[in-house]
């Protein structure tokens, strides 16, 4: 269970989707002065060098943040607000980014949450992988509001529930496990059910991969059902950058082409009412910026 390292995937298309949604949601919730409890159940390192060994091994950021930066640099019209908010955060960690450079520090969800939080907010980060947990501690200790940031070497599925409901009765919770284990899918559904039972008015963002596995296709349906049974609103968005398999006839003895993860999705429970409109603008732009073939597409649905 400790083999997954997010550093291999930092800045990929799934991060672009997840972090665009995360930032837009948090910026809306910050409009009220009341303190927020920010929780990331599977935090990772927090910060990643895209020219580092892990990121270079997979080079997934090339079809994610690096491609989006190139698109933005050549854009003749302003980007949609949600996409621009996301890119503004990337720039804030790097300063001016020269076209084509791989010397980019990519902020994971913990760094984004810490950078955007306010003095009245509290941030709780959970990470079980020992090396990533130590890196997370070091990265968060150097960031803003370090004294309001709490890193826990603990099971995010179980131990994050201890902080619900928060004293302020306001929370944004991100759940994005690796799904390396098939059991993660069931744990996510059970976690959301338990979280809503403890704190029904929190805002929950659940990321998942869109891959050819029955559990992956069933998960968003289960999450929407859990939200509906709790009487809560939901939003579901997906982003695919290309086809997930090789077209044409496979010859006998020919090895199937592995394309890796080419699509992912997010389910947001109790989403801000403005989020659907923001994503109606942002998702087509992300398809245009990151799409690699005619199959590139997005979906967007909500309960309202």
19 known ligand binder: yes
60 known ligand binder: no
Max CA pair span of the chain: 64
Which residue(s) pair with 219 in the sheet? Answer: none
Q: E-assigned strands of the chain?
A: 37-40, 47-49, 105-107, 122-126, 149-152, 171-175, 203-209, 234-240, 263-269, 297-302
Q: Which of 15, 40, 121, 176 is catalytic?
A: 176
Residue 293 is among the residues annotated as catalytic for this protein: no
132 known ligand binder: no
Give the whole-angstrom CA distance, residue 291 versus residue 284.
Answer: 10
- Pair type for strands 263-269 and 203-209: antiparallel
51 known ligand binder: no
**Collapsed DSSP state (helix, strand, coil) of residue 150:** strand
DSSP 8-state code for residue 75: -
176 known ligand binder: yes
What tokens were used for 27? 């910026």
Residues placed in the known binding site for S-adenosyl-L-methionine:
19, 42, 109, 127, 155-156, 176
Give binding residues as ranges. 19, 42, 109, 127, 155-156, 176
* Active site (catalytic) residues: 176
């Amino acid at each position: 269970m400790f083999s997954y390292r997010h550093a291999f995937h930092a800045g990929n298309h799934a991060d672009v989707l997840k972090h665009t949604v995360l930032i837009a949601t948090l910026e809306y919730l910050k409009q009220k002065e009341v303190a927020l409890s920010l929780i990331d159940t599977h935090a990772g390192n927090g910060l990643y060098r895209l020219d580092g060994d892990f990121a270079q091994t997979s080079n997934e950021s090339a079809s994610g943040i690096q491609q989006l930066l190139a698109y933005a640099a050549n854009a003749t019209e302003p980007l949609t607000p949600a996409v621009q908010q996301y890119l503004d955060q990337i720039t804030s960690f790097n300063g001016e980014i020269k076209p084509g450079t791989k010397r980019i520090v990519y902020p994971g969800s913990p760094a984004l949450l810490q950078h955007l939080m306010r003095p009245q907010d509290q941030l709780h980060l959970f990470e079980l992988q020992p090396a990533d947990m130590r890196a997370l501690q070091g990265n968060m200790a150097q960031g803003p509001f370090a004294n309001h940031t709490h890193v826990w070497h603990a099971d995010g599925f179980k131990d994050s529930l201890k902080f619900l409901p928060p004293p302020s009765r306001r929370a944004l919770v991100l759940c994005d496990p690796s799904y390396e284990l098939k059991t993660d899918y069931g744990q996510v559904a059970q976690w959301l059910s338990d979280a809503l039972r403890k704190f029904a008015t929190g805002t929950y963002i659940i990321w998942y991969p869109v891959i050819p596995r029955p559990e992956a296709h069933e998960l968003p349906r289960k999450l929407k059902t859990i939200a509906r049974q709790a009487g809560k609103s939901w939003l579901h968005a997906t982003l695919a950058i290309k086809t997930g398999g090789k077209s044409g006839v496979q010859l006998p003895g020919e090895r199937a082409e592995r394309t890796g993860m080419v699509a992912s999705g997010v389910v947001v429970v109790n989403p801000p009412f403005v989020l659907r409109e923001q994503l109606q603008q942002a998702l087509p732009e992300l398809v245009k910026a990151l799409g690699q073939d005619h199959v590139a597409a997005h979906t967007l649905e909500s309960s309202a």
